Amino acid sequence: MNRIEQIIGEIEEFIESCKSYPLSSSKIIVPKEELSEMLVDLRMAIPDEVSQCQKIISNQSAILTDAKTRADDLIAKANEQTEKLVDEHAIMQRAYATANRLTEDAKIQAQGIVDSAAQEADSIRLSAIRYTDDMLRSLQTIIGHALDGSRSRYDALQADLQSSLDIVSSNRKELAQGMPKDDGINIPQ
């Protein structure tokens, strides 16, 4: 309960505790000084409540700015990862081209040498296939790690954004409790 609501509650209790006016059920006798002191307390509490509302609003802006900064950082990191994967793919293409050239060279030499050249060509081709398979396995691992990392960063971003949204919604609800119903401000429940 905020200070304004507390003071209003005290005023209501004070009014209930006042004596009734003789021969009247709707009029009461109110000690003027005590009621005046309570009203002064109420007037003094209002600026504090307004200040708290302004702090909540400024925190909301900071939370949204922080969330946007984090999102921008995650996007930049994802772009860097994508560029690295593209570069690695180009390396893989060159490696595959090199393997194909080695295989072709082995076939040309094998035509001049009968049995031994055929065995040597098969050996080189198997090495190239193993090399290509190793490179593809490495690329598969890199892509898998990048995908897992992107997912976890995306999940963390969603969690941060949801947390920020929950805080903002909570602050708006708290703000709405202190406002009259007919002020024209529509704050969602």
- pLDDT score at 158: 94
Highest mean pLDDT among 69-73, 84-88, 93-97: 69-73
The angle formed by the CA atoms of residues 172, 175 and 176, to the nearest 5 degrees, is 85
Give a yes or no: residue 66 inside a domain: yes
- pLDDT score at 114: 76
- pLDDT score at 99: 86
Domain carrying residue 103: 54-177
Give a yes or no: residue 186 inside a domain: no
Distance, CA of 75 to CA of 153 (rounded, Å): 10
User: Residue 109 pLDDT > 70, yes or no?
Assistant: yes
The conformation of residue 21, written as its DSSP 8-state character, comes to P
Give a yes or no: residue 42 inside a domain: no
pTM beyond 0.75: the answer is no
- Domains of the chain: total: 1
Give a yes or no: residue 82 inside a domain: yes
Give a yes or no: residue 75 inside a domain: yes
The percent of residues in the chain predicted with pLDDT above 90, rounded, is: 24
First-to-last alpha carbon distance for the chain, in angstroms, is 19
Give a yes or no: residue 189 inside a domain: no
